[in-house]
């Protein structure tokens, strides 16, 4: 036998000598040196090239190719590439035999080689798809010619049949999806061929064939969006998470921007697959429930403003997210129809909103409160009034201070102020409002030569602006008051006073602080002024200085009273002077007294408390300045807020003038002698039984979170969840817990993923707690929290009331999860004590490859606690999946990963799955529930070449 120079000669010799297929296989191997790979020699292409020379294909050479395919001498990808190079579609018999070759393996394509070979298979399959589309388009176009219809029909049928066979497999579509991302220009060619086929579908007379062609076109078009197909939940009508998120925002965050709320709501909608009409309905339901539940007074007005001013802005923004404007309008109409059927809810809300409700009249203690029922009409009219007031406040104050005073006086009457503030808060104008009042307060520092009239106007402008700012800070949070105008480094008086001297919940003031100890000469002259004159002088009075000196003056007066130098009567005269003209001085005096009382023993407090009582009691003389009664109402509310903490701690009583409405409805909600853990469990079980969180419970949870701390709060609520043994209860608990965690999602997520889950997963004595349903429910909760924290965290959207909280020390996470990869972290040491397999992970010379993840390739900062916690959690999950022993903790990890896939948005670049080590994919696909091509596409980052290779390898092996 002669030695052959090249492959072509060997094939020709075999044909001349008419070798059978197995003879050919034996002989060809003898011709070439050992270790030759037939793919490198392009065996498939050489055989096809020779077989297709004549008018009809050469059956003997084709039998060699089929034998090579069956005996795996050649890979599927080289065969597919060889086929896709043949483009003479007019040779029917050749096309027919090529399609028959594809029949041999197209429904069971696989590749168990290296990642590069798997990517090669993806590319080859896309080329073959393009070839079949061109082929189908060629025959569809020929259908135009009536003479050839019958002959062409059978060819088209063969082609479409194979196309459907290839595209019918999700695995094949997934491989093509990877190829599309790997080689965009080739996908462009596929789209051109697809368009050509689409143009010619109309020429196909046979209905069956036309339907098949349309189905093929649809399947190819679906490849780029393979990951975004999610079904919606249609078996539920109530969605407690949406309800609670809306209630939380309305109760705690009226001043917040609408955008973060919109994104949070959309996150919930996507995670829970809520159909749009029911989603919009739930938002409205929550608004009406909030309105019905809200306590009388300011809260009621806040809810009305939230419902009728802020929620419409939210709906406008939601329109951009929910596909299609026309569809959105239909969804809103549909939700509105559902809402109209909820007669009891609407009746109650209507009853609450009626202004002149005769039955409610006896409840109102005073006539001035008759206009504070939450009337939507009033709130809607208040919005343009806010804009007008802001314009008025922009004018030059020195030109007509009296005119400005008239406007402010009008604002103070009845409950106008709260109505206007609620409207400003709901429309994002409150900061601007506060800035204008700070500017006005600063303006009163300018003292020219003034008569008594001008002096009293200036005193009133100072007093009203000061009181309004205090009221805004207490009602909407001090972070609303930020001075952005003026030169840098120059802090206005009010902001200085508020930050250093104003008592707030959770803020402890030091009465010895330098801010309470101004220049002694100013203090002495103020004490003399208060003690000697019959009433406070106004002309040339520097009110800002007086307010800063009053604390030291009060200390002098208290000492004199304690030591018998001053009598009770003279002290009363002094307090009358302090509160007689300008209420702000009384506010500043009480602010210091509150800090002072905290430092005194039980037997030393009496005189200080008596002084607070005297300052809080309004003066009803003839000689008070304009709008005194209106200013006193605001002053009383401010003082009540300031004293609440200290009065509760000292069990003292101070009677504040009644306004007929509870000023602090959510104050002091916890029962006096009940341990806080019992309060937490009982409130949670009531909420769970009811199926939704109400405003009062939100406030209790918020207080408990402040009091017990993040770990205590999270740990105890997770324990409650793990007690649930009924599936529907466990699911409802997850929906409610997620919404309760929205009180401080970032910190609670860090605790849940960084402390609680690792403890449960690494302690075998706790694994029984992770059984289904509670374990599955905890996995769902963990993924929901992780996803929403990661998404909002990247946009930096912690709301102001969350930012006010004490932040857990970042160092805690750095010691738990050290940055340096060579130093085994505490978490890994925890692991290695339980699992012998994890010694690889915790050893100092651990290779990067075991933990390499997409996040590292995207250079995500690991200085960030959340990124750190996520990266370590996925390392732990990876080690559990690779361990030799399995248990409920292994099942938990699978549920966790399934839920990650469920919650994914199209394209996983920004998702928490980027922290998953690439090596985990091959472990995951061993689990029956995870071994689907769509899941592999979802969990790998296909924007990275390495991600595409990992996915191709995992899918090709399925």
Cβ neighbours for 433, distance < 8 A, ≥ 6 positions apart: 386, 389, 390, 421, 424, 472
Residue 261: how many CB atoms within 10 A of its CB? 25
Per-residue confidence (pLDDT) for residue 281, from 0 to 100: 93
Examine the pLDDT at 813 and tell me if it is beyond 50: yes
User: Alpha-carbon distance 793 to 798, whole Å?
Assistant: 7
Proportion of the chain above pLDDT 70, given as a percent:
86
Per-residue confidence (pLDDT) for residue 668, from 0 to 100: 66
User: Alpha-carbon distance 613 to 590, whole Å?
Assistant: 9
Closest C-alpha among 175, 173, 189 to residue 223 = 173
* Mean pLDDT of the 902-919 span: 73
User: Alpha-carbon distance 220 to 194, whole Å?
Assistant: 8
Examine the pLDDT at 667 and tell me if it is beyond 80: no
Q: Place 487 in a pLDDT band, splitting at 50, 70 and 90.
A: low
Per-residue confidence (pLDDT) for residue 685, from 0 to 100: 94
Sign of the CA dihedral 544, 548, 553, 554? positive
User: Alpha-carbon distance 63 to 714, whole Å?
Assistant: 68
User: Alpha-carbon distance 710 to 704, whole Å?
Assistant: 9
Examine the pLDDT at 947 and tell me if it is beyond 90: no
Per-residue confidence (pLDDT) for residue 3, from 0 to 100: 44
Per-residue confidence (pLDDT) for residue 832, from 0 to 100: 43
Examine the pLDDT at 140 and tell me if it is beyond 60: yes
User: Alpha-carbon distance 215 to 208, whole Å?
Assistant: 11
pLDDT in tens, 840-892: 333 333 333 567 887 777 777 778 888 889 989 999 998 898 888 888 999 99
Q: Place 160 in a pLDDT band, splitting at 50, 70 and 90.
A: very high
Examine the pLDDT at 44 and tell me if it is beyond 90: no
Q: What is the DSSP letter of 754?
A: I
pLDDT in tens, 387-436: 888 888 887 777 778 888 888 888 887 678 888 898 999 988 888 889 88
Closest C-alpha among 882, 875, 834 to residue 852 = 875
Q: Place 821 in a pLDDT band, splitting at 50, 70 and 90.
A: very low
Examine the pLDDT at 679 and tell me if it is beyond 90: yes
Contact 611, 575 (CB under 8 A): yes
Q: What is the separation of C-alpha 313 from the centre of its chain, rounded to a whole number of angstroms?
A: 18
| Rama region for 451: left / alpha / beta (φ>0; ψ in -120 to 50; rest) | beta
Q: Place 363 in a pLDDT band, splitting at 50, 70 and 90.
A: very low
User: Alpha-carbon distance 126 to 129, whole Å?
Assistant: 5
Per-residue confidence (pLDDT) for residue 81, from 0 to 100: 93
For the ranges 215-224, 526-535, 568-577, 739-748, which has the lowest average pLDDT? 526-535
* Mean pLDDT of the 568-583 span: 87
Examine the pLDDT at 804 and tell me if it is beyond 60: no
Examine the pLDDT at 455 and tell me if it is beyond 80: yes
For the ranges 261-275, 592-606, 852-866, which has the lowest average pLDDT? 852-866
Examine the pLDDT at 827 and tell me if it is beyond 90: no
Six-digit token pair at 668? 């002091």
End-to-end CA distance of the chain: 43
User: Alpha-carbon distance 417 to 434, whole Å?
Assistant: 13
Per-residue confidence (pLDDT) for residue 326, from 0 to 100: 61
Residue 503 burial by CB count (10 A; 0-12/13-18/19+): exposed, middle or buried? buried
* Mean pLDDT of the 800-811 span: 48
Per-residue confidence (pLDDT) for residue 802, from 0 to 100: 54
Q: Place 822 in a pLDDT band, splitting at 50, 70 and 90.
A: very low
Residue 665 Cα distances to 330, 699, 706, angstroms: 40, 10, 18
Helix (H, G, I), strand (E, B) or coil at 190: helix
Examine the pLDDT at 232 and tell me if it is beyond 80: no
User: Alpha-carbon distance 543 to 582, whole Å?
Assistant: 9
Contact 227, 934 (CB under 8 A): yes
Residue 135 Cα distances to 192, 620, 713, angstroms: 13, 98, 65
Q: Place 823 in a pLDDT band, splitting at 50, 70 and 90.
A: very low
Per-residue confidence (pLDDT) for residue 665, from 0 to 100: 64
Helix (H, G, I), strand (E, B) or coil at 917: strand
Cβ neighbours for 865, distance < 8 A, ≥ 6 positions apart: 750, 754, 810, 813
Per-residue confidence (pLDDT) for residue 193, from 0 to 100: 92
Residue whose pair of structure tokens reads 């909407």 in the numeric block = 476
Residue 523 Cα distances to 132, 226, 527, 582, angstroms: 94, 76, 6, 18
Range ranked top by mean pLDDT from 34-48, 352-366, 661-675: 34-48
Mean pLDDT rounded to a whole number for the chain: 82
| Rama region for 42: left / alpha / beta (φ>0; ψ in -120 to 50; rest) | left
């Amino acid at each position: 036998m002669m030695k052959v120079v090249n492959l072509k000669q060997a094939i020709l010799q075999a044909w001349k000598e008419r070798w059978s297929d197995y003879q050919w296989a034996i002989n060809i191997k003898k011709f070439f040196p050992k270790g030759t790979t037939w793919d490198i020699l392009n065996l498939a292409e050489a055989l096809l090239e020779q077989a297709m020379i004549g008018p009809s294909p050469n059956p003997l050479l084709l039998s060699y190719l089929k034998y090579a395919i069956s005996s795996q001498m050649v890979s599927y990808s080289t065969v597919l590439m060889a086929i896709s190079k043949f483009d003479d579609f007019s040779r029917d018999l050749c096309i027919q035999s090529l399609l028959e070759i594809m029949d041999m393996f197209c429904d069971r394509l696989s590749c168990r080689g290296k990642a590069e070979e798997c990517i090669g298979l993806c590319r080859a399959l896309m080329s073959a798809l393009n070839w079949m589309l061109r082929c189908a388009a060629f025959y569809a176009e020929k259908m135009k010619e009536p003479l050839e219809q019958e002959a062409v029909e059978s060819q088209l049928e063969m082609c479409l049949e194979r196309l459907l066979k290839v595209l019918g497999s999700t695995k094949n579509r997934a491989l093509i999806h990877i190829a599309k991302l790997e080689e965009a220009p080739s996908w462009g060619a596929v789209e051109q061929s697809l368009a050509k086929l689409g143009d010619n579908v109309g020429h196909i007379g046979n209905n069956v064939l036309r339907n098949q062609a349309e189905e093929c076109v649809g399947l190819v078009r679906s490849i780029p969006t393979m990951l975004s197909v999610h079904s919606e939940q249609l078996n539920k009508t109530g969605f407690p998470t949406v309800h609670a998120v809306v209630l939380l925002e309305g109760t705690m965050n009226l001043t917040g921007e609408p955008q973060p709320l919109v994104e949070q709501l959309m996150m919930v909608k996507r995670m829970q697959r809520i159909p749009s009409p029911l989603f919009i309905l739930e938002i409205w339901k929550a608004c009406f429930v909030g309105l019905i539940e809200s306590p009388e007074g300011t809260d009621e007005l806040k809810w009305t403003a939230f419902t009728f001013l802020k929620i419409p802005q939210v709906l406008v923004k939601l329109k951009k997210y929910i596909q299609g404007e026309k569809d959105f309008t239909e969804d809103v109409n549909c939700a509105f129809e559902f809402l109209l059927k909820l007669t009891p809810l609407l009746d109650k809300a209507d009853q609450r909103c009626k202004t002149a409700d005769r039955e409610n009249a006896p409840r109102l203690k005073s006539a001035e409160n008759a206009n504070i029922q939450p009337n939507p009409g009033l709130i809607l009219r208040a919005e343009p009034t806010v804009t007008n007031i802001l314009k008025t406040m922009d004018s030059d104050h020195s030109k007509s201070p009296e005119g400005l005073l008239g406007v402010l006086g009008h604002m103070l009457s009845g409950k106008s102020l709260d109505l206007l503030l609620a409207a400003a808060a709901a429309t994002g104008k409150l900061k601007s409002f506060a800035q204008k009042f700070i500017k006005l307060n600063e303006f009163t520092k300018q003292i020219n030569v003034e008569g008594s009239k001008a002096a009293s106007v200036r005193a009133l402008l100072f007093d009203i602006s000061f009181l309004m700012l205090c009221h805004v800070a207490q009602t909407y949070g001090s972070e609303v008051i930020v001075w952005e105008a003026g030169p840098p480094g120059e802090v206005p008086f009010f902001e200085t006073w508020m930050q250093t001297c104003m008592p707030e919940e959770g803020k402890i003031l030091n009465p010895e602080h330098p801010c309470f100890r101004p220049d002694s000469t100013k203090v002495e002259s103020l004490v003399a002024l208060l003690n000697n004159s019959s009433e406070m002088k106004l002309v040339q009075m520097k009110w800002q200085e007086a307010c800063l000196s009053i604390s030291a003056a009060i200390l002098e007066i208290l000492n004199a009273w304690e030591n018998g130098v001053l009598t009770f009567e003279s002290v009363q005269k002094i307090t009358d002077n302090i509160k007689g003209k300008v209420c702000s001085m009384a506010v500043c005096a009480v602010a210091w007294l509150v800090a002072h009382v905290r430092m005194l023993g039980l037997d030393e407090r009496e005189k200080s408390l008596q002084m607070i009582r005297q300052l809080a009691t309004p003066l009803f003389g003839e000689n008070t300045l304009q709008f005194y009664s209106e200013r006193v109402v605001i002053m009383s509310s401010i003082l009540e807020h300031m004293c609440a903490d200290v009065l509760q701690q000292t069990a003292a009583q101070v009677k504040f003038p009644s306004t007929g409405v509870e000023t602090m409805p959510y104050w002091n909600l916890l029962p006096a002698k009940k341990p806080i853990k019992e309060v937490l469990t009982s409130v949670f079980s009531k909420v769970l039984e009811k199926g939704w969180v109400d405003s009062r419970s939100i406030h209790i949870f918020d207080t408990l979170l402040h009091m017990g701390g993040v770990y205590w709060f999270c740990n105890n609520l997770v324990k409650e969840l793990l007690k649930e043994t009924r599936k529907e209860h466990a699911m409802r608990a997850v929906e409610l817990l997620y919404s309760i965690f929205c009180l401080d999602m970032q910190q609670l997520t860090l605790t849940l993923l960084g402390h609680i889950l690792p403890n449960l997963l690494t302690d075998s004595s706790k694994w029984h707690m992770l059984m289904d349903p509670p374990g599955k429910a905890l996995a769902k909760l963990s993924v929901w929290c992780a996803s929403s924290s990661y998404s909002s965290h990247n946009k930096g959207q912690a709301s102001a009331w969350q930012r006010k909280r004490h932040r857990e020390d970042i160092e805690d996470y750095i010691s738990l999860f050290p940055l340096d990869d060579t130093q085994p972290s505490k978490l890994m040491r925890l692991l290695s004590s339980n699992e012998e397999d994890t010694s690889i992970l915790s050893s100092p010379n651990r290779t990067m490859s075991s933990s390499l993840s997409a996040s590292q390739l995207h250079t995500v900062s690991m200085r960030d606690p959340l990124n750190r916690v996520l990266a370590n959690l996925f390392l732990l999950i990876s080690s559990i999946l690779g361990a030799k022993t399995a248990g409920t903790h292994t099942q938990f990890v699978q549920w966790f990963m399934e839920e990650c896939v469920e919650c994914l948005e199209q394209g996983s670049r920004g998702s928490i799955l980027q922290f998953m080590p690439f090596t985990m994919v091959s472990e995951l696909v061993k689990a029956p529930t995870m071994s689907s091509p769509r899941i592999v596409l979802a969990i790998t980052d296909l924007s990275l070449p390495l991600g595409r290779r990992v996915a191709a390898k995992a899918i090709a092996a399925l």
